[in-house]
């Protein structure tokens, strides 16, 4: 779940930044896109930590 959320936030943040970079009207200002992107990266770090914990527990069984 966290992995999907991280990917979605990164995707939306990058899409908004690209739209802003080409000068087209966007659904969000650049600062909101940057916040989404950073939140997605942080959620991605959390997802990696959760996956590592899960895999370590799975090996111990």
How does residue 61 score in pLDDT terms, banded at 50, 70 and 90? Answer: confident
Predicted local distance difference test score (pLDDT) of residue 27: 85
pLDDT of residue 48: 96
pLDDT digits (tens, 9 = 90+) for 4-53: 999 999 999 999 999 999 999 888 899 999 999 999 999 999 999 999 99
The pLDDT, as a whole number, for residue 22 is 94
d(CA 52, CA 58): 10
In the chain, where does DSSP find H-type helix? 2-21, 30-59
Cα 45–Cα 46–Cα 51 angle in degrees, nearest 5: 100
47 SS3 class: helix
Alpha-carbon gap, residue 4 to 11, rounded angstroms: 10
């Amino acid at each position: 779940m966290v992995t999907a959320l991280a990917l979605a936030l990164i995707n939306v943040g990058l899409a908004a930044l690209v739209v802003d970079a080409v000068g087209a009207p966007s659904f969000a200002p650049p600062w909101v896109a940057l916040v989404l992107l950073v939140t997605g990266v942080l959620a991605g770090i959390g997802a990696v930590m959760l996956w590592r914990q899960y895999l370590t527990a799975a090996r111990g069984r």
